[in-house]
A and B are shown apart, each in its own frame.
Chain A
Amino acid sequence: MIWFILKKLTHGLGSIILIILVLSFILFYAPIDPVRMSFGQRSDEETINLFKQKYYLDKSLGIQIFHFFEDLSPLQWVKNNDLRLEDYKKQFIFKGEFSSLIIKKPYFRKSFANGRPAWDLLIEAFPSTLVLAISSILIAIILGLCLGFIASIHVNSIWDRLILAFCSISYSIPSYVSSLLVVVFFAYWLGDYTGLPIQGSLYEFNDEGDLRLELKNLILPVVALGIRPVSMIAQMTRVSCLDVLSSDFIRTARSKGITNIRLVQKHLIPNCINPILTTISSWFASLLAGSFFVEFVFNYKGLGLLTITSLNQFDIPLIMACCVMIVILFVIVNLITDFLYSFFDPRIKFYD
């Protein structure tokens, strides 16, 4: 078991490193001058040269990528006169005359746009996205399971048709259109009754200048984000429930005179949960990775909005940090899903 987890973790780590390699290759290849981005057009030659030497930006592409990976690695053999040393949060293991071995926090460099460490910006933005993703996936799970279950029980009835029509329409509404519609209905036309704001983040500064939790800013983004997952989960639930309900063991169980509750509990759920779980986990991963459009429309300061602003400002360290964060989240969610598969369905062994 432990070996299997270790194997999975190393697999995840390997794919993370490879993706970072691909992304860093593309990004360092890009015709963007990082120095001009961080110091502006007017800056003296000396500052520029110092900055370039510090991050090895005057060297070739391979060396740049190598030093970027050096920044990310927790263990590093570094020269004592390396300029980057002052930025690291480090601990010396071995200190030599010219070079030393240090252990440190992975360092994502400083944002070009505002000069703060990129990782700090990420950590500030992440809780808002986490809250948004969890609340919208919860609503989507509850609604989607109920709708799909109702549709599968009353198959080919009017309810089934209505739910199917709702699903196929709402599946083709992109999240930017759905957030637009939600804003029009609930914040513009019904704004006087609902009192919901058109834009806003989870944490907002109030008039006195302190950071406050504004839970009502969460409602509209959650509704806008939830619409597509609801339709997918409902469709998946309907299809897999129908599959199971038409199989032989359900008929046998019914003929034995089993109660409906026990039928659902013992026979239906363990057999139909897996495809639903796949859908839920893939949606949850993509919601965690940043609901780019909804955060953009609502100006909700989370991971997605941070990624978009950094992309629009060509802020390479921040882009890299966002990408790494998103990929790590994807890998973690996939790992958890693998655990859950074997938890719900005893036929699937987690470790094989």
Chain B
Amino acid sequence: MKTSIFLAKAYLMICIIVSFLGYLITVDKTKYCNTQVLENSFLDPFSKSCFENIRKQPKKLKDYIFGMEEYEKQYKSDSPTSNCKIYLLGTDRYGRDLLSRLIIGMRYTLLVSLLSVVFACLIGVILGSLSGYFGKLYELVVTFFVNIFWTLPTILLAFVILISFGRNISSLFIAIGLSLWADIARLVRAQVLSFKEQNFVSSAKAMGFSDIRIIFSQILPNIAGPIMVQASGNFALAVLLESGLSFLGMGLQAPVPTLGNILQDQYTQVFNGQILQSLIPAIVLVLLILSFQLIANDYRDRLDVKLYH
């Protein structure tokens, strides 16, 4: 195994595990890591800060999964007390722990991109296989829609859907999924067309299988490889789109952290001299996209799929 692929997989695994654990490992256990201590804004990494009151700890299982609902005001004290914490990556403008927000932000980014890729795959596979297998009217309609979605710039449709149906998770993943499905549908259609004439499909027809059964039990397992390659490439695109939309303020709204939101909050810190803090969200994001890209390329090389032409 090549080193770069190994590193990419390791990074991806770390991201997934960390975002899965979520509030179990964050310092700030309130929902969305939104404990604001304005006296502590823009702290440097590894700075320590002490508070007079003791923080509440989550009791129920629900609090560990979704975060604590109740917020509590924290009073900063100058002398060391029993309740001290270290901000590993410093704080943002409201004095929130940056590392905790990055962890939860990673969770939301991965969740949205996973949902949108699944959504895109669902639409793409169903429409692509219908148009490839049945042809005629199905083919006409599907190619027509694919052409329209290809003419539209990817991000424009997402913008319009988000402003019309609200900036929440469901419209976000629908918007991103709708801008990704055309590639998958085209690929599935081409693959189904090439498999339709094979002997095993004709024998399945001769045995009297229904069309739906032939598609799902005979053809789709054979073309799962190319679809996986395309989907893993689309994962990188979905992360890119999601964080881009959040960066423009079109994604999930504050206080929900996503990588794009955090980047948008932090990037002006460059001009205050806090280069590290402004670049860390960017680096996390770029590495995530890079690792998805490398893994997709690796799959493509191993399965020997030609995606372009």
Q: Which residues of A contact B (CB under 8 A)?
A: 15, 18-19, 22-23, 26-27, 29-30, 32, 168-169, 171-174, 176-177, 180-181, 183-184, 188, 198, 275, 285-286, 289-290, 292-293, 296-297, 307-308, 311-312, 314, 319, 323, 326-327, 330-331, 334
Contact = CB atoms under 8 A, between A and B. Distances in A.
A30 B297 CA distance: 40
Nearest to B293: A172
Contacts of B247: 176, 293, 296
A14 to B, nearest CB: 10
A196 to B, nearest CB: 14
Contacts of A177: 263, 282, 285-286
B159 A327 contact: no
B180 to A, nearest CB: 15
B244 A183 contact: no
B275 interface: yes
Nearest to B297: A168
A26 B160 contact: yes
Nearest to B241: A174
Interface in B264-305: 267, 270-271, 275, 278-279, 282, 285-286, 289-290, 292-294, 297
A168 B293 contact: yes
Contact of B163 (A30, A180, A296, A331): A30
B148 A296 contact: no
Given A168-B294, A326-B156, A311 B163 contact: yes
Which among B159, B236, B308, B309 has the highest number of chain A CB atoms within 10 Å?
B159
B84 to A, nearest CB: 33
A22 B161 CA distance: 11
Nearest to A297: B267
Contact of B270 (A19, A22, A188, A275): A188
B250 A331 contact: no
B248 to A, nearest CB: 6
B248 A174 contact: no
Contacts of A180: 267, 270, 278-279, 282
A224 B263 CA distance: 17
B290 A172 contact: yes
A286 B309 CA distance: 20
Given A30-B164, A172-B289, A176-B263, A331 B151 contact: yes
B113 interface: no
Contact of A26 (B153, B164, B249, B293): B164
